[in-house]
Structure 1
Amino acid sequence: MRIAVAAAAVVTLSLTAACSSGGDDDTSSDGGSASAGAPSGDILVLTNRTDLVDTTFQDYKKTFEAKYPDVKVKFEALTDYEGEVKTRMNTKDYGDVLLIPNSVSVADYPDFFEPIGKTDELAKTYSFVNEAAVDGTAYGLATFGNANGVVYNKDVFKAAGITALPTTPQEFVADMQAIKDKTDAVPFYTNYKDGWPLTWPQSWMGAVSGDKDALVKMATDDAPWADGKEKATVDSLLFDVAKAGLIEEDPTTTNWENSKNLIATGKIGAMALGSWAVPQMQDAATKAGADPASIGFMPPPFLVDGKPVSPVGGDYKLAINVNSDHKAAARAWFDWFINDSGFYDLAGALPTVTANPAPANLKDFEATGVQYLEMTPEAKLSAIDNQAEIGLGQPDYYRQLVDAGRGASKDTKESIFEGLDTKWAAARASVG
């Protein structure tokens, strides 16, 4: 299963706004009001976790309903979550509690979702509060947070003679070369065909500079792909591993679901992904009869003041339908899920509640001394990207880099970067 990574999802599409006034609500819809009133009634919770809806979520239901006996929770798990919810949001019928689709423009959140509270107050307790906020009001909270880095197979690294994790791009490429030379594993698997895993360079913005405002500054730069700039540096690493022949022999035939089994059984050395992927790879190892402890997670190969940095961001944002007839019940579920369910631990991800500890599967990751960097969101970045038709969170131009690197096209890295800068500068001038 893919879990959406909000830090990389910079492209948004506006939807036709549904009517922003609810029906016979048990609360009003002004700031933070969804918590008012006695929780009661039936609520529908939409989820993308088709794998958990009949197991873990049923346990959540029992625990929650024991605390709120006047509330009955029903789940609806959607395989094509983004597509189905986007369509339903053209009506008022899109559940009582839901995960905000990535295709919804942040500016449109007040039309669709109930205010959760003021960001300055929420920030005292939660992380990632500004990622779903409009004018200082949050309309959702992250179900958990993702650290960005590289999932790798420890046994493959050991067989290749790698005794220390790479801390520079040059060391990373050298380690991938060692895997190619000394093992039968694919050093670095791109998941080129599925595409979405290929967008990791954008998720690494901030890892090179250690600057939480890296995305904000990119929106003010006419040439982010100029030599030495952070965007050029992270994108170049993808090109470099492709040029060195350290990726799949035929990237057009990759398969995301199968890649889990391949890395779990030592047929892949590394994949750039978020921390959410670690439990999935460990589960694949268990199912394949391999050791789940062989799956590791490392920071991006850069150092800032002697320490690696992992940009972090919230995953899907949980929200309350502004049209819900039972907003107090919906808010009760919202608060319980974020604060008490422990879902972040199950996902092997960072907690939204800042006081909670990181899960056990990130213990080795944190032992590297990695610094988590919560990035400042920048709505203007999305506007520029849309105008430029580049797709920072889409696979197209990353595939161009891979194809150029492996010799499948006549493009060069330099020509691709120059073209991107030209489009970006023109889009910035147009957006203003």
Structure 2
Amino acid sequence: MKKTIAYSMVSLLMVTTLAACGSNNESDNNSKANNAGNDTTANAGTTNNAGTTNNGGTANAGGDADISGKVVFLTNRTDMVDKEYKDYEKRFEAKYPKVDLQFEAITDYDKNEKIRIASGSFPDVVLLSTLIPNADFPKYFAPLDDVKFDGDIYFKDFKSFDGKSYGISSGNSTVGIVYNKQAFAKAGITDVPKTYDEFLAACQKLKDAGIVPLASNFKDKWPLGAWYNDVPAVITGKADTANSRKDTDTPYTLDNTYGKSFSILKELYTKGFLEKDVNSTNWEQSKKDVAQGKFGMYLLGNWVINQVVDAGAKTEDVGFFPFPADNSGQAKAPLNPDWFYGVNKDGNVAAAKAFIQWMIEESGYDDFAGFIPTLKSKEPKLAQLTEFNSYNPTFVEAVPTDDTALSIQNKAQIDMDALVQEFVLAKDPQKVFDKVNGQWAKARKEFVK
């Protein structure tokens, strides 16, 4: 679905991925795991590790007195451990004195969480893995329809199955070009690019000025998710590229959406507009380099803006504009939910639901992460969204993942980030596509008759 949204309506908003979540990525843009809590596993109807019995329950039923015991959140934000999470713990436990809130942080979240869930050992609150089909949610997670938020929320039914919701978006975002205004000024760029040709010209000016035009974080892989999740939506104006793969044995071709998107990145690489050595990039360092103007741009979500500021940039020196993937001059941008909170159905369900509600309504995490808030009534505070919306982009709203397409993807074991890497570096990109199309077609036979 397409929407043109003015800034006054931007809170009526938001794939790579994922994570960042913040960051919205699979390894969530953080380099080191920091175990800030212990795993909790409890059987339904039995006493859990905190000494409380959990047979469900809502975040509101019975008031605060009913919320007790230990609750552990498995998070991707390793950078927040011993920092913001300490404040969250203090404030949440002040509201719920009988609760012991703990955090466990991991990297490579999607893969590691899926392993944990498959083993039956995962904490009370998690971020729903993008690798798990919606149809499998009832096996592991508690429905969240009874959590009564203070107003309507975005993407309420995105992680639903059989009429029940199993996930609440932690925040929402769009994806475009985050840029250092001082770097642009040094390179003599007076206007942000409105077309792809203008974008290439800006890249050349940055390169000529000794500035790396675009930080790809190629080696880190997960930032490449924008090239298969978000740029396709910009190219086509549709959000169903990934889902439509189920209808063909050859979803990856040079002349379709994936081929066009990956070819843009390959052109930027060939022209020397990415890091000098793409095989030795470093995510944490890149934030400092963008902040200092050594790198000119990111192609990422608005969630990264606060991280660039935290890395040393002045807020007024960081800008944000839609990525011009063609020469039409018509700005388009994806509107995406970030990670979704989910509750272990065999964990401390009541406390877990209370924690999710508190994170959405009271924590301030959406402001810290630079998100478009999950609550529709709450205006985003990120100033750069004002600039972004001044270009009047048409927003392409994300659609739920099709379980058949996801099942084929999982069976084929196609690493999309690695696919982008191989395509960009390949002398013959068609051979790269031929290989993954073979994997896809073989897996598809099991799900599409």
The answer to whether TM tops 0.5 is: yes
Matched, 1:203 2:203: no
Aligned residue among 369, 380, 384 for 1:347: 369
CA deviation vs aligned residue, 1:16-60 (integer Å, no higher than 9, x gap): xx987342576644xx85654443212323233343343433433
Aligned partner letter, 1:3: A
Matched, 1:161 2:188: yes
1:135 and 1:167, CA in 2 relative to 1: closer, same or farther beyond 3 A? Answer: farther
Q: How does 1:62-81 map to 2 (within 5 A)?
A: 62-69=90-97, 71-80=98-107
Aligned residue among 349, 352, 355 for 1:333: 355
* TM norm structure 1: 0.82
Match of 2:432 in 1: 416
Aligned partner letter, 1:349: F
Tell me the SS of whatever aligns to 1:150. strand
How far, CA to CA, are the matches of 1:340 and 1:371 in structure 2? 31
Match of 1:408 in 2: none
Tell me the SS of whatever aligns to 1:217. helix
Displacement after TM superposition at 1:285 (Å): 2.0
Kindly indicate whether the alpha-carbon contact (under 8 Å) linking 1:34 and 1:328 is maintained by their aligned counterparts in 2.
Answer: yes
Aligned residue among 364, 367, 381 for 1:359: 381
Identity within the alignment, %: 31
Tell me the SS of whatever aligns to 2:312. helix
1:397 and 1:330, CA in 2 relative to 1: closer, same or farther beyond 3 A? Answer: closer
Aligned partner letter, 1:340: E
Tell me the SS of whatever aligns to 1:376. coil
How far, CA to CA, are the matches of 1:368 and 1:208 in structure 2? 17
Displacement after TM superposition at 1:359 (Å): 2.6
Aligned partner letter, 2:246: A
CA deviation vs aligned residue, 1:372-398 (integer Å, no higher than 9, x gap): 332112222222323444323xx2121
Aligned residue among 287, 290, 297 for 2:320: 297
How far, CA to CA, are the matches of 1:170 and 1:388 in structure 2? 36
Kindly indicate whether the alpha-carbon contact (under 8 Å) linking 1:214 and 1:375 is maintained by their aligned counterparts in 2.
Answer: no
Matched, 1:313 2:336: yes
* TM norm structure 2: 0.79
Kindly indicate whether the alpha-carbon contact (under 8 Å) linking 2:144 and 2:165 is maintained by their aligned counterparts in 1.
Answer: yes
Tell me the SS of whatever aligns to 1:191. coil
Q: How does 1:124-203 map to 2 (within 5 A)?
A: 125-181=152-208, 183-203=209-229
How far, CA to CA, are the matches of 2:88 and 2:26 in structure 1? 29
Unaligned runs of 5+ in 1: 10-17, 405-410
Displacement after TM superposition at 1:266 (Å): 1.2
Matched, 1:51 2:79: yes
Displacement after TM superposition at 1:331 (Å): 1.8
Matched, 1:113 2:141: yes
CA deviation vs aligned residue, 1:173-199 (integer Å, no higher than 9, x gap): 232122212x11111222122221123
How far, CA to CA, are the matches of 2:69 and 2:389 in structure 1? 41
How far, CA to CA, are the matches of 2:161 and 2:43 in structure 1? 15
How far, CA to CA, are the matches of 1:85 and 1:223 in structure 2? 30
Match of 1:322 in 2: 345
Kindly indicate whether the alpha-carbon contact (under 8 Å) linking 1:185 and 1:267 is maintained by their aligned counterparts in 2.
Answer: yes
How far, CA to CA, are the matches of 1:401 and 1:358 in structure 2? 37
How far, CA to CA, are the matches of 1:342 and 1:364 in structure 2? 22
Kindly indicate whether the alpha-carbon contact (under 8 Å) linking 2:89 and 2:102 is maintained by their aligned counterparts in 1.
Answer: no
1:117 and 1:307, CA in 2 relative to 1: closer, same or farther beyond 3 A? Answer: farther
Displacement after TM superposition at 1:95 (Å): 2.9
Displacement after TM superposition at 1:296 (Å): 2.1
Displacement after TM superposition at 1:259 (Å): 0.9
Aligned residue among 375, 392, 396 for 2:418: 396
Matched, 1:251 2:251: no
How far, CA to CA, are the matches of 2:42 and 2:249 in structure 1? 39
How far, CA to CA, are the matches of 1:312 and 1:3 in structure 2? 15
Tell me the SS of whatever aligns to 1:207. helix
Match of 2:9 in 1: none
How far, CA to CA, are the matches of 1:8 and 1:77 in structure 2? 16
Match of 1:431 in 2: 447
Unaligned runs of 5+ in 2: 1-17, 28-40
1:134 and 1:305, CA in 2 relative to 1: closer, same or farther beyond 3 A? Answer: farther
Kindly indicate whether the alpha-carbon contact (under 8 Å) linking 1:112 and 1:321 is maintained by their aligned counterparts in 2.
Answer: yes
Match of 2:287 in 1: 260
CA deviation vs aligned residue, 1:121-173 (integer Å, no higher than 9, x gap): 99x82222344222231112111113122222222222223233233333322
Kindly indicate whether the alpha-carbon contact (under 8 Å) linking 2:19 and 2:338 is maintained by their aligned counterparts in 1.
Answer: no
How far, CA to CA, are the matches of 1:301 and 1:386 in structure 2? 32
1:50 and 1:194, CA in 2 relative to 1: closer, same or farther beyond 3 A? Answer: closer
1:297 and 1:279, CA in 2 relative to 1: closer, same or farther beyond 3 A? Answer: same
Tell me the SS of whatever aligns to 1:51. helix
How far, CA to CA, are the matches of 2:293 and 2:372 in structure 1? 26
CA deviation vs aligned residue, 1:198-234 (integer Å, no higher than 9, x gap): 2321121311222233333343244444454322221
Kindly indicate whether the alpha-carbon contact (under 8 Å) linking 2:25 and 2:222 is maintained by their aligned counterparts in 1.
Answer: no
Kindly indicate whether the alpha-carbon contact (under 8 Å) linking 1:193 and 1:252 is maintained by their aligned counterparts in 2.
Answer: yes
Matched, 1:3 2:3: no
How far, CA to CA, are the matches of 1:264 and 1:200 in structure 2? 21
Displacement after TM superposition at 1:241 (Å): 0.7
